[in-house]
């Protein structure tokens, strides 16, 4: 009985292996089919050099690419470092300003009416930065001159990095808006510590903050009125105590 | 013999109380010290660049008062986003020959 069952089990095992091998070869065939009219392979965004196929560079162009490959790889890493570092600084500032507001400003009896809008805007802009950066990071996938379309890849990378730059700029604006808002409640003092002083900080505030667009649905509640407003506290932003 | 046992128990209790009080004091001290210096976490950044992310966060000013808000604003403004374009232009120059 046991001896009869053995061939059946073996056949079943063979079938299992055969189907998985076929699935893999179909996938690689699909990658190979991704050929343009000129016979080059398109380097997909997430493709690592191994699945990009043979390079579209030949002869002198391939040699020129190989001569610059090390420098390009270094620059790609350097650029990512630069952007990640900037994001780290922006994230830390946003986090610390939010914590400062929640642990020092609010307990002192002051609050921003549009605080939740400002924080939501920061979160939305940060999500855009993260998304753009993830996309840009996935592009190089290990730069190589011998696989895919190296020049096209760098072009795509440039486009993605410019999107990251735009997103970082918007993120910075959102954080600035929060700082300007919080600053209307906390005048600049020589020392540090909990926000003190009168409930109307206009007389003592010496904020150097320049206003930018405020993302709020209640314009009257925005801490800063318009770009023409002086960096000091605007009348509409008097703290609610 | 019984008296000795009781004495040891008192010593043990005192040590435990001391450790608990010490740990509490240390926690309070460090948490107070970290206010305004909180470090962000971003798991979306790959492990290769986590160090750079943390470095950027460390460079940010601590926020403990109004003057620090000014400093934070200045730091934000000083972040040179155009540096990204410079690096991209250098990359384009490299790739122009192939």
Q: Does the pLDDT of residue A207 top 90, yes or no? A: no
Of the CA atoms within 13 Å of residue B73, those in its CB half-sphere come to: 22
pLDDT for position A15:
52
Residue to mutate among A76, A87, A165, A186, with most B CBs inside 10 A, is A87
Taking the CB of residue B86, how many other CB atoms lie within 10 A of it? 12
Mean pLDDT calculated for residue range A52-64 = 76
pLDDT for position B7:
87
Q: Is the ipTM of this complex over 0.95?
A: no
CA A137 to chain centre: 10
User: Which chain A residues touch B74 with a CB distance below 8 Å?
Assistant: 208
pLDDT for position A96:
96
Quote the pTM value: 0.64
**CB–CB of B76 and A68 under 8 A?**
no
Q: What percent of chain A has pLDDT over 70?
A: 54
What tokens appear for B24 in the block?
A: 């509490």
B98 → closest Cβ in A57, A94, A179: A57
CA dist., res. A96 & res. A88, Å (int): 12
Rounded to the nearest integer, the mean pLDDT of chain B is 88
pLDDT, tens digit (0-9, with 9 covering 90-100), for A171-183: 999 999 999 999 9
- Every domain of chain A and the residues it spans: 54-234
pLDDT for position B87:
92
pLDDT for position A223:
41
CA distance A92 to chain B (A): 5
Bridge partners of A54, per DSSP, are A147
Taking the CB of residue A155, how many other CB atoms lie within 10 A of it? 15
The contacts of residue A225 (CB under 8 Å, 6+ apart) are A211, A234, A236
């Amino acid at each position: 009985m046991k001896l009869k069952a053995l061939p059946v089990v073996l056949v079943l095992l063979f079938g299992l292996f055969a189907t998985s091998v076929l699935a893999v070869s179909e996938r690689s065939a699909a990658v190979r089919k991704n050929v343009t009219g000129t016979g080059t392979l398109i380097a997909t965004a997430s493709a690592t050099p191994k699945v990009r196929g043979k390079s579209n560079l030949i002869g002198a162009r391939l040699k020129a690419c190989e001569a610059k490959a090390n420098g390009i790889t270094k620059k790609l890493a350097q650029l990512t470092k630069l952007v990640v570092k900037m994001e780290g600084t922006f994230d830390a500032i946003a986090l610390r300003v939010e914590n400062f507001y929640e642990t020092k400003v609010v307990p002192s009896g002051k609050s921003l009416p549009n605080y939740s809008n400002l924080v939501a805007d920061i979160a939305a802009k940060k999500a855009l930065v993260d998304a753009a950066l993830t996309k840009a990071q996935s592009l190089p996938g290990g730069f190589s001159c011998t696989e895919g379309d190296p020049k096209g890849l760098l072009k795509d990378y440039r486009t993605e990095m410019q999107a990251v730059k735009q997103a970082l700029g918007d993120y910075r604006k959102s954080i600035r808006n929060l700082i300007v808002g919080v600053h209307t409640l906390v005048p600049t003092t020589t020392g540090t510590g909990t926000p003190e002083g009168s409930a109307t900080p206009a007389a003592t505030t010496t904020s150097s903050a320049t206003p930018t667009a405020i993302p709020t649905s209640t314009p009257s509640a925005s801490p800063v009125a318009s770009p023409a407003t002086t960096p000091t506290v605007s009348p509409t932003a008097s703290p609610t105590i | 013999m019984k008296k000795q046992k009781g004495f040891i128990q008192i010593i043990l209790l005192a040590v435990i109380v001391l450790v608990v009080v010490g740990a509490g004091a240390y926690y309070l001290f460090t948490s107070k010290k970290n206010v305004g210096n909180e470090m962000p976490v971003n798991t979306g950044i790959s492990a290769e660049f986590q160090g750079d992310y943390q470095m950027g966060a460390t460079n940010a000013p601590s926020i403990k008062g109004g003057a620090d808000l000014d400093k934070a604003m200045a730091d934000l403004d000083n972040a040179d986003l155009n540096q990204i374009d410079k690096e991209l232009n250098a990359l384009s120059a490299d790739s122009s020959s192939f």
